[in-house]
Structure 1
Amino acid sequence: MSRSIRLLNLLQLLREYRHPVTGQALAERLQISVRSVYRDIETLRGQGVHIEAAAGLGFQLKEDFLLPPMTLDETEIEAIFLALHWLKSVPDLSLQSASNAVLAKLDAVLPKHRQHFMEQTTLRAFNVWLPVDMQILEQIRIAIRQQVKIAVSYIDGQGKKSVRTVWPFAMGYFNDKIVLAAWCELRQDFRHFRIDRIQQLSLSQELYPSFKQQLFQQWWEKESQTTDKN
């Protein structure tokens, strides 16, 4: 990891803490030595970042000079907070971590009275998800992002096993389950796959011969026609 990336990671981590955090805790989160943490904090201070140190308590970011101020009304803050809080329940560690990071950034750019409002917000979203393999879930998100084929070992609702090569282009989060929408090479058609029924997944480096936006549009039109007929 380059020094510049490490400094940015440290700054982002400091944003996530509303109270002083020890150098040891920062070192464990960043997987570096405590000595490196102290040295990097001094570097950030030298670049104009206001980081306070309290004896026996640790470090705290007081002002964030990298992020511009943002104006949001109370309803917009509630909407963002509710969406991010819901995201924390999704069984995907990367998305959960991203939710915390976005909340920290939001807190850094809001005026003080809006920060207080967000802290006092009591809207909450609750979901109970079927267990999934988080590594498989993250690999599918990567495959969608990179538009590459994946091979999945799948068990359907009748307990029948199959191995498919599919072109993943979308995921839907429905109440208790997460569903992958993909083009299936075996069936030569669009198919839905519940993530909790995927037993194994192999992420390839082969791009599928369409853009995910085009596949999504074709799939959506087909789904809409099916709904209209019903």
Structure 2
Amino acid sequence: MFLSDKKLEVQMSRSIRLLNLLQHLREAKYPVTSQTLAAQLGISQRSVYRDIETLRQQGVRIDACAGMGFQLKEDFFLPPITLNETEVEAIFLALHWLKSVPDGELQCASSSVLTKLNSVLPAHRQHLLEQTTLRAFNVWLPVDMKILEQIRMAIRRQVKISVMYWDEQQRESHRILWPFAMGYFNDKIMLAAWCELRQAFRNFRIDRIQQLHLSQEIYPQFKQKLFHQWWTQEVCSTTDKN
């Protein structure tokens, strides 16, 4: 039996409303009252309560804070998924390799992702994840974890950074950079950025960055566009041209 056009329209409208509600909760840093949510979505408070209960039934964790409102406790959730043996091995190998990267937050994230995947995989796939013996090994040049964290933050926010850099001739220079990508090559981590000093793209070894200041100034290009231009020009070159 097919749904009538009117019923289908109502169903789609409610689905969109649920997605909008989820987005409002995701963007809120603090608990939001049902009254505020109702005003934002243009619906009644009763509908807000009903929609929140629907989201909870679908697995979304929404806490109710007495006198304060609702707060999303999980940013998103994965439904039960099925992966074949090769896909499970690929995920495990990639996450195991990530544990060797000298970046504390990424190491923690890799362990967290493995735990979350294991919780939603069917039992026979969980066994495969536990039994796989594929491993990845890397020896990395030491880097400053704080600098790595700041660079990743700058790339996300698309803001400029100021660095003190030592090139391979041990010459020190001060650079204002527009960071847009990081690459992990053999034993080193590279930063791809537009350099205001050279007025050109440059690749920087992160282990040679001595000091870094994270600014609040957004650089005047989208990082995806910079990446595309750099990719076309460099063709994945890892030469340090500084």
Please, what TM-score do these two structures have when normalized by structure 1? 0.69
2:82 alignment partner, SS class? coil
- Equivalents in 2 of 1:106, 1:224: separation in Å? 34
2:128 aligned with 1:146: no
Identity of aligned residues (%): 72
Larger Rg: 2
Partner of 2:202: 191
List per-residue Cα deviations over 1:94-119 (Å, max 9, x = no partner): 00010011000100010001100100
Runs of 4+ with deviation above 4 angstroms: none
Partner of 1:115: 126
Partner of 2:144: 133
2:219 aligned with 1:212: no
Alignment of 1:1-230 (within 5 A): 67-224=78-235
Letter in 2 for 1:220: W
* Contact 1:67–1:108 (CA under 8 A) maintained in structure 2: no
* Contact 1:89–1:96 (CA under 8 A) maintained in structure 2: yes
How many residues matched?
167
- The change in CA–CA distance for 1:120 and 1:3 in structure 2 (over 3 A counts) is farther
- Equivalents in 1 of 2:133, 2:157: separation in Å? 37
CA RMSD of aligned residues (A): 2.1
- The change in CA–CA distance for 1:225 and 1:81 in structure 2 (over 3 A counts) is closer
> Structure 1 regions of 5+ residues with no counterpart?
5-46, 50-65
Please, what TM-score do these two structures have when normalized by structure 2? 0.66
1:132 alignment partner, SS class? coil
> Structure 2 regions of 5+ residues with no counterpart?
1-28, 32-58, 62-76
Letter in 2 for 1:113: H
1:173 alignment partner, SS class? strand
For residue 224 of structure 1, report the CA deviation from its aligned partner.
Answer: 3.0
For residue 207 of structure 1, report the CA deviation from its aligned partner.
Answer: 0.2
